[in-house]
Amino acid sequence: MKLEFVVSQAVVQAVQSLYNVEVLSDSVQLQKTKKEFEGDVTVVVFPFVKAARKSPEDTAREIGQFLREHQSIITDFNVIKGFLNLTISQVYWVKQLNDIANQIDYGVVEPAVDAPLMMIEYSSPNTNKPLHLGHIRNNLLGFSISRIQTANGWKVVKTNIVNDRGVHICKSMLAWQLFGNGETPVTSGMKGDHLVGKYYVVFDKEYRKEIKELMAQGQTEEEAKKNAPLMQATQNMLVRWEQGDPEARHLWETMNGWVYAGFDETYKKLGVDFDKIYYESQTYLVGKKQVEEGVEKGVCYRRDDGSIWIDLTNEGLDEKLLLRADGTSVYMTQDVGTAKLRYDDFPIKKMVYVVGNEQNYHFQVLSLLLDKLGFEWGKELVHFSYGMVELPDGKMKSREGTVVDADDLIDEMVQTATETSQELGKLDGCTPEEAHEVATMVGLGALKYFILKVDPKKNMVFNPKESIDFNGNTGPFIQYTHARIKSVLRKAEEQKITLEPLDTSLQLSEKETYLIQLLADYPEIVKQAGDDFSPAVIANYTYDLVKEYNQFYHDFSILRENNMALRNFRLVLSANVAKVVKSAMYLLGIEVPERM
């Protein structure tokens, strides 16, 4: 039985007996006692002062004395102003550890057969460039959130919308056509997504030259951008693609094929996957149809040039373009079509879009647009808005080729993890295969943890060197602690020591009691991470748990403890810290090694 429930019921009984007032257990305010005060649970007594007709301090003392006399799990109390701090018996905490030890999937709620379905969209790459550092944060957040929501009892469908058509894609296609000389991933030795991204940069370089030339001839910058031959050719290619031109379609299929093969490699390295992938090329026509129907319904309107818009000024927004004058669609059109297809395909209860905060306005518009088009789920969509990620030396720009490539960063992290682990002797005794496996686990763990420990809503700076540190709030520190515990447990097994049910009469230290309390918090931490859509809640809890365990490991003997009951307790405690660490890191998409 949860401690909060037991204490709440006890407080209800105390108030009724002392003051003859009935209160609901839901109205009892409980908090975890602050570390600077003695106690485990704090009761806020201000709501009962009126009934007691006494000062907050006297009310707290009366309730505390009643609880100590009538509740065996409450052994002591102290009062700080209007706050009653209760000390919970060690017998209760030992029983708690026994309960935790008996639960294989502790802290996780298995989705029921009829559980509601949450669809989570993440990644959403364009097929004109490889994945970069910004995509890494997106993928890691989306994948972790999907695991966290599954652990909270949701059925989850992980989905990806690939932006495989449009002006940006045509820029890479045209540049390859004009400047590529038939280059392919095979002839160049480049990953397909890298090769296509190369020509996106080439396009921008040549386009800038044309703009400069036209401006020298007297055109304004805006005129030059519009009239540049490369831009006009790109627009023409997009129109031909939408009209089904065989040449444009063949080039598009070929180059996208190169990109998909490259993406798959990166996703595999990163350890993320999807249950369903949608493609803009398959959804934009559905979106166009919905927009055309919106004109018929009077929701949207057509301008004289043939473009279609929606007016959202009454909702505090502005007018939004939905179809261009030449009939080509925009991202909003595609998102409408994708949403309709998804709700046709799945019984979605909650739709979550993992997209950066620069798209906040876009999702405000999408929600209103879907609602006005008659989709009842429009207002219910969730935009999981997260901050940008940068490197210590600043922002990244795809067009200028200054992005941090995801593949390069992953390889660099694994290489750095290898070098650091070797320097510290963490790979001593490992075979080359084991050393590579551990280094890969540590390198990726460092990358993922450093990104996920930050509040998703905040912008962040990713520092590769800081992330790989084996001390402090890092993935390697947590991974090494897990390996350390597993080493202790292996030694116990070698000594034929078996873990037994715990002796509830044990006298525990404050550190040992606090570790059990941290373990007892885990289910609530998982729930909070789900409610807040925040892997950072899991990450920072795990660091706190590991930090406390390392202090315990430093201060107390485990295998050398002469008291057999106490030795057994410390082994059980260690085993369950490792279990919770592994579970928590799994929710972050991070593996933990058995040995280092």
Stretch among 13-22, 269-278, 536-545 having the lowest mean pLDDT: 13-22
Better pLDDT: 395 or 522: 522
Residue-range definition of the domain harbouring residue 61: 3-88
The Cα 231–Cα 212 span in angstroms is 14
pLDDT at 432: 83
Mean pLDDT of the chain: 93
Angle 312-318-324 (CA atoms, 0-180°, nearest 5)? Answer: 95
Element containing residue 351 per DSSP (H, E): strand 348-356
pLDDT at 433: 86
pLDDT at 400: 45
Q: Are residues 351 and 417 in the same domain?
A: no
pLDDT at 79: 95
pLDDT at 396: 41
- Using one digit for the tens of pLDDT, what is the confidence trace for 457-469? 999 988 887 888 8
Q: Answer yes or no: is 376 within a domain.
A: yes
CB 574 within 8 A of CB 99: no
pLDDT at 393: 66
Strand spans (E) along 114-154: 117-121
Q: Answer yes or no: is 224 within a domain.
A: yes
Q: Are residues 155 and 251 in the same domain?
A: yes
| Phi and psi, residue 248, nearest 5° | -65, -40
The answer on pLDDT for 294 being more than 80 is yes
Q: Are residues 333 and 421 in the same domain?
A: no
* pTM: predicted TM-score of the whole model, two decimal places: 0.91
Give how many domains the chain has, as a whole number. Answer: 3
Question: Which tokens sit at 243?
Answer: 């009209």
Burial 45-71 (b: 16+ CB within 10 A, else e): beebbebbebebbebbbbbbebbeeeb
The Cα 456–Cα 459 span in angstroms is 8
- Using one digit for the tens of pLDDT, what is the confidence trace for 175-225? 999 999 999 999 999 999 999 999 999 999 999 999 999 999 999 999 999
Q: The CATH number of the domain where 229 resides is what? A: 3.40.50.620
| Phi and psi, residue 8, nearest 5° | -60, -45
Percent of the chain with pLDDT over 70: 98
Q: Answer yes or no: is 94 within a domain.
A: no
Q: Are residues 137 and 15 in the same domain?
A: no
Q: Are residues 384 and 416 in the same domain?
A: no
pLDDT at 395: 47
pLDDT at 242: 86
C-alpha closest to that of 347 among 148, 162, 154? 154
Last residue of a domain, one of 88, 105, 137: 88
Question: What confidence category does residue 407 fall into, taking pLDDT thresholds of 50, 70 and 90?
Answer: very high
Q: Answer yes or no: is 96 within a domain.
A: no
Last residue of a domain, one of 35, 67, 88: 88
Residues contacting residue 338 through CB under 8 Å, at least 6 positions apart? 161, 278, 280, 283, 286, 287
Mean pLDDT confidence for 50-59: 92
Question: What confidence category does residue 403 fall into, taking pLDDT thresholds of 50, 70 and 90?
Answer: low
pLDDT at 158: 98
Q: Are residues 368 and 416 in the same domain?
A: no
Q: Are residues 293 and 385 in the same domain?
A: yes
Residues contacting residue 352 through CB under 8 Å, at least 6 positions apart? 118, 119, 120, 121, 145, 381, 382, 384, 533
Residues contacting residue 101 through CB under 8 Å, at least 6 positions apart? 499, 502, 572, 575, 576
CB 184 within 8 A of CB 215: no
Q: Answer yes or no: is 172 within a domain.
A: yes
The answer on pLDDT for 584 being more than 50 is yes
Q: Are residues 470 and 380 in the same domain?
A: no
The Cα 262–Cα 63 span in angstroms is 66
The Cα 112–Cα 153 span in angstroms is 7
- Using one digit for the tens of pLDDT, what is the confidence trace for 254-291? 999 999 999 999 999 999 999 999 999 999 999 999 99
The Cα 244–Cα 476 span in angstroms is 51
Question: Which tokens sit at 235?
Answer: 């627009």
pLDDT at 77: 95
pLDDT at 402: 52
Last residue of a domain, one of 356, 390, 424: 390
- Using one digit for the tens of pLDDT, what is the confidence trace for 88-138? 999 999 999 999 999 999 999 989 999 999 999 999 999 998 999 989 999
Mean pLDDT confidence for 31-48: 91
C-alpha closest to that of 67 among 36, 104, 42? 42
Q: Answer yes or no: is 17 within a domain.
A: yes
pLDDT at 463: 83
Mean pLDDT confidence for 73-94: 94
Q: Are residues 297 and 410 in the same domain?
A: no
Percent of the chain with pLDDT over 90: 81
The Cα 326–Cα 324 span in angstroms is 5
pLDDT at 379: 86
Strand spans (E) along 81-209: 83-88, 117-121, 155-162
CB 446 within 8 A of CB 414: no
Q: The CATH number of the domain where 47 resides is what? A: 3.30.1360.70
The three-state DSSP-derived secondary structure of 274-298 is: CCEEEEHHHHHHHHHHHHHHHHHHC
Question: Which tokens sit at 592?
Answer: 């933990």
Q: Answer yes or no: is 419 within a domain.
A: yes
In one letter, which amino acid is 259? V
Q: The CATH number of the domain where 459 resides is what? A: 1.10.730.10
Q: Are residues 418 and 385 in the same domain?
A: no
The answer on pLDDT for 399 being more than 80 is no
Q: Are residues 247 and 367 in the same domain?
A: yes
Residues contacting residue 323 through CB under 8 Å, at least 6 positions apart? 288, 291, 307, 308, 329, 330, 333
Q: How far apart are the first and last CA of the chain?
A: 38
Q: Answer yes or no: is 533 within a domain.
A: yes
The Cα 228–Cα 212 span in angstroms is 10
The three-state DSSP-derived secondary structure of 366-428 is: HHHHHHHCCCCCHHHCEEEEECCEEECCECCCCCCCCCCEHHHHHHHHHHHHHHHHHHCCCCC
Q: How large is the C-alpha radius of gyration of the chain?
A: 30
- Using one digit for the tens of pLDDT, what is the confidence trace for 145-179? 999 999 999 999 999 999 998 889 999 999 999 99
Q: Are residues 133 and 279 in the same domain?
A: yes
The Cα 525–Cα 108 span in angstroms is 10
The answer on pLDDT for 301 being more than 70 is yes
